[in-house]
Structure 1
Amino acid sequence: MTPDMFGGDAAMTSIGAAGVLDKMPITVTEDGPQYSLLIGKQSVPLNPLRGKQIRLEHTGRIFCQHCGTQTKKSWQGFCYDHFMSLAQADSCIMSPEKCHFDQGTCREPEWGERNCFQTHYVYLANTGQVKVGITRGTQVPTRWLDQGAHQAIPVARVRSRYLAGLIEVLFKQHVSDKTNWRTMLKSTDESLDLAAIRDQLFNDCADDLRDLQSQHGIQAIQMIGQADIYTVIYPIEKMPEKFNSFNFDKDAAVEGQLLGMKGQYLILDTGVINIRRFSGYEVTLKVQE
């Protein structure tokens, strides 16, 4: 890509957006998901920018999302010290079944009590293929939208993140617990029978599920045998011919026509970029006049 792909700076106008990136908020409306780009203290509505040429330029500076200090490298959005000390950066966040709160070794016990010891859901999602995942009750349906799921259905309600992790471990012996970003973006929103897949998982894992309920209590682990399937249509004009993945650690600028948004990805005619991955990166945004 060349710096003058928009016909030079005269063809571009800064909309006054400059600052540190954060994950894109998604609001569900009757017209579908509405995306915004958080840059510093500014929130830029993205749905109206579809079809326009945009340019995101990384200034080269990265900031810790917890303490705000500048860091040479981002460790999941944090500086190294906070990556090593915050509970939200611990390995049990990615693998909840490894929770060590009861051992007295939680990095931040108060944070753990607020975030991990509340209602969680185990769910199945269609992200181009079926996957199992978990989320806090307060994050439904946000979590599904963040993952770019076309469909989702809750299959269990539990009292803690740890218990959700135990069920996820059982289910991921039969279905994936990962989202392939290329498959998710290329997905044509073909529907899956998530209810039938849920029923099959319940059958395949019946003995282990009964054991968990016997050990932790039926009130702590409630399987959901009936639930509506949540469906999403993302604001995408069309898909690019190539799915190049932009990386601010290698690409100082990301330029192209904005085609739409799915999950935490901006979809341009020149490629895609995962905004959440670059939370803490300082950027400027310009849009074609």
Structure 2
Amino acid sequence: MELQGICHKMHAGLKDLSVTDQQTHKANVEYKFILDRLEIDLPFNLGQEIELEATGNIYCISCGSKTPKSYSQGHCFKCFKTKASCDMCIMKPETCHYHLGTCREDDFAHEVCFQPHIVYLANSSALKVGITRIGQMPTRWLDQGATQALPIMKVGSRRLSGQLEIMFGTQVADKTDWRKLLKGEADPVNLVEIRNELVEEFAPKIQTIRDEFAQNLEFNETVEYLEDELPREFIYPVDIYPEKIKSHNLDKTPVIRGKLQGIKGQYLLLDTGVINIRKYTGYELKVRAE
């Protein structure tokens, strides 16, 4: 079997959703491969020998032009420098500058930045705080390989969510250790208990941020505490975690082979090393499975 097309990040979804002990949503994670923006069932199974080959062709996922190098996960240099989706505020939402009149794309701001966002706690390699648009749950957690997640606040804009993330980040990490993530499951934590402690500790600062953003009458930048949300738990299709992490790089080695031992986040875990599929968005790949 061989497939060929332009690679995009895998689509992760949930199946067999259930509530355990009336306190936790628990579900298995399943993946679909994306080639040429078409969602297809994985062309391989756990335990199968697979091969990925980069043809050398890279295409911008925004304008479609051929590019010698990929920037910001699948863009040509021109789009990287001009598209709002490639601006620094995407990585650091607290630096959103729409209110200063310097946003690259007004439509993008209305479609993305001024949509409801969730501030959440998750457990990937360890406890972390993060933000995502409400429509990106649970995709954001699954892309990060989280085994637990809990929405804690719903807010009216990306910049507002970023301010809260920075605040909570003084007590909770906002990054995932990808190497630790791929070595096994993180030790479980009590997300509800941690949420309650954080909200109580930061109550005065949360009110200050709420009051500051309430002055913006153009957008409904409110803060809602999600005290009734239940934690989520996710089970990834992994047979064997690697003892040592070796990362494949298609730019240096265009053809990689190995037995598929698991999938977590956007990583394929092979017996020869791991590969981050999202990193190769825009690359033309040939996918083979025995």
Normalising by structure 2, we get a TM-score of 0.90
> For 1:153 and 1:61, how far apart are their aligned partners in 2?
40
Query: What are the Cα deviations for residues 96-124 of structure 1, in whole angstroms up to 9, with x where unaligned?
Result: 11111111111010111011111100000
Count of residues in Structure 1 that have an aligned counterpart in Structure 2:
274
1:75 pairs with 62, 66, 71, which one? 71
User: SS of 2:119's equivalent?
Assistant: strand
State how 1:33-48 maps to structure 2 within 5 Å: 33-40=29-36, 42-46=38-42
> Does structure 1 residue 139 correspond to structure 2 residue 136?
yes
State how 1:264-283 maps to structure 2 within 5 Å: 264-283=266-285
Task: Give the corresponding residue for 1:18.
Answer: 4
> For 2:153 and 2:184, how far apart are their aligned partners in 1?
26
Alpha-carbon contact 1:127-1:187 (below 8 Å) kept: no
Query: What are the Cα deviations for residues 244-282 of structure 1, in whole angstroms up to 9, with x where unaligned?
Result: 111111121121001121101111111111111110111
> For 2:40 and 2:211, how far apart are their aligned partners in 1?
50
CA shift, 1:194, in A, is 1.1
CA shift, 1:40, in A, is 2.2
> For 2:265 and 2:288, how far apart are their aligned partners in 1?
22
1:58 pairs with 43, 54, 61, which one? 54
> Does structure 1 residue 167 correspond to structure 2 residue 164?
yes
Letter in 2 for 1:251: T
> For 2:92 and 2:194, how far apart are their aligned partners in 1?
23
Task: Give the corresponding residue for 1:85.
Answer: 82
> Does structure 1 residue 95 correspond to structure 2 residue 92?
yes
> Does structure 1 residue 263 correspond to structure 2 residue 265?
yes
Task: Give the corresponding residue for 2:121.
Answer: 124
1:109 pairs with 106, 115, 123, which one? 106
Query: What are the Cα deviations for residues 19-74 of structure 1, in whole angstroms up to 9, with x where unaligned?
Result: 11100011211172221111225544238611100000111111111111111111
Alpha-carbon contact 2:157-2:221 (below 8 Å) kept: no
Larger mean Cα displacement after TM superposition, 236-245 or 257-266: 236-245
State how 1:144-223 maps to structure 2 within 5 Å: 144-217=141-214, 220-223=222-225
Alpha-carbon contact 1:119-1:136 (below 8 Å) kept: yes
Task: Give the corresponding residue for 1:8.
Answer: none
Larger mean Cα displacement after TM superposition, 255-264 or 39-48: 39-48
User: SS of 2:10's equivalent?
Assistant: coil
Normalising by structure 1, we get a TM-score of 0.90
> For 1:263 and 1:44, how far apart are their aligned partners in 2?
18
User: SS of 1:24's equivalent?
Assistant: strand
CA shift, 1:189, in A, is 4.1
Alpha-carbon contact 2:258-2:271 (below 8 Å) kept: yes
Query: What are the Cα deviations for residues 178-215 of structure 1, in whole angstroms up to 9, with x where unaligned?
Result: 11111112232421111122122223322211111222
> For 2:88 and 2:32, how far apart are their aligned partners in 1?
30
Percent identity between matched residues is 41
Task: Give the corresponding residue for 2:20.
Answer: none
In structure 2, runs of 5+ residues without a counterpart are 17-26, 215-219
CA shift, 1:157, in A, is 0.4
> For 1:235 and 1:197, how far apart are their aligned partners in 2?
28
User: SS of 2:4's equivalent?
Assistant: strand
> For 1:44 and 1:138, how far apart are their aligned partners in 2?
22
> For 1:268 and 1:42, how far apart are their aligned partners in 2?
24
